Amino acid sequence: MLEGQTCLVTGASRGIGRGVAEELGTHGANVVVNYRSSEDLAHEVCDHIEDDCDGEAVPAQADVADYDEVQTMVEGVREEFGGVDVLVNNAGITVDKKFESMTREDWDRVVDVNLGGVFNCTKACFEDLCDAEDGRLINISSVVGQQGNYGQANYATTKSGLFGFTRTIALEMASSGSTANCVAPGFVATDMLETVPERVQEKILDRIPLNRFATVDDVAGIVRFVASEDAGYMTGQILAVNGGMEW
Ligand code: NAP
């Protein structure tokens, strides 16, 4: 159970982030539901957590790529709950193109959100996570960061980058007793997967030994475990949740 823990989940209005926020709320945590533009959906997630779970939930608008917005959001969390115990860096985007057509702008957009956002949020929460002594930093990477993927040079680079970041922060946090880990999902049925053409989805499915895409719940349960006391001696690790895909 996560009673008394305050968990900030970025990109929690939809998809994996929403599933994680609801899972943590179901287990008693106070949840901060960050979103960029889907205000109504973020409120819906909070209502669901408050109605069905023990913890409190509040929506928090901020573009994770914006350093000042993230600082303001985290100051708000501190005023409301006293600090962040669990940070789930989930917000992420894709801008898929073959490398020969990829522009510098396509590259920068993805790097700014997927890595810049992780820097901004971790920076804003770092002291709180260390002060918590059993704090948890959980970065949502991807099997694409492990394998690479056609048309995703920008995205794959950001998702691989999280491995080095997580490992390093794990070392720098270790003396406080807090941990940093990566969860690397395979292909999950969310809006992000909807952007992949159907014929490509079929090819991906052929590569998944469990023969199905992951559900949001497949990932959320693992994140809840990593956030829990049971995972206290695990740090700097990559947990692959990919239906048996090799890498
Ligand atoms: P999704 O359905 O597209 O949802 C993305 C979420 O991130 C939304 O809540 C969105 O908020 C938020 N977001 C996007 N840019 C943001 C920003 N700049 N600041 C704050 N929030 C932002 O994505 P998903 O499939 O759930 O993916 C979530 C994470 O899992 C990503 O990091 C992704 O790389 C990773 N992942 C996904 C898959 C997959 O197959 N789906 C597989 C492996 C890893 P708004 O609604 O307000 O725009």
Q: Please report whether residue 40 resides in a domain.
A: yes
Distance in Å, CA 129 to ligand 1 centroid: 23
The reply to whether ligand 1 has any atom less than 6 angstroms from the CB of 188 is yes
Ramachandran angles phi, psi of 168, nearest 5°: -70, -45
Residue 1 lies in a domain: no
Residue nearest to atom 39 of ligand 1 (CA): 188
Q: Are 135 and 83 in contact (CB under 8 A)?
A: no
pLDDT digits (tens, 9 = 90+) for 135-178: 999 999 999 999 999 999 999 999 999 999 999 999 999 999 99
What is the structure's pLDDT at 184? 98
Residue 114 lies in a domain: yes
Question: For residue range 94-110, what is the model confidence (pLDDT) as tens digits?
Answer: 999 999 999 999 999 99
The residues annotated as belonging to the active site are 155
Give the domain CATH number at 49: 3.40.50.720
Closest C-alpha to ligand 1, atom 41: 188
Ligand 1 centroid vs 230 CA: distance in angstroms? 27
Instruction: Please check whether residue 137 lies inside any domain of the structure.
Output: yes
Least Cα distance to 146 among 89, 94, 186 occurs for 186
- Residues recorded for the chain: 247
Of 18, 36, 35, give the one whose Cα is nearest residue 26.
18
Q: Global pTM?
A: 0.98
Using a CB cutoff of 8 Å and minimum separation of 24, what contacts does 171-177 make?
Answer: 171/236, 173/129, 173/130, 173/135, 173/137, 173/235, 174/235, 176/129, 176/130, 176/131, 176/133, 176/135, 177/133, 177/134, 177/232
DSSP lists the bridge partners of residue 181 as 138
Give me the torsion for CA of 63, 161, 104, 118, rounded to 10°: 10
- For ligand 1, say whether the CB of 193 is within 6 Å of any of its atoms: yes
Is residue 246 one of the residues assigned to a domain?
no
In this model, does residue 195 exceed pLDDT 80? yes
When divided into structural domains, the chain yields a total of 1
Domain that holds residue 16: 6-241
In the structure, what pLDDT confidence band is assigned to residue 52 with cuts at 50, 70 and 90? confident
In a domain, 184, yes or no: yes
Residue 219 in any domain: the answer is yes
What confidence tens digit (pLDDT) does each residue in 74-97 have? 999 999 999 999 999 999 999 999
- Mean of the pLDDT values across residues 184-189? 96
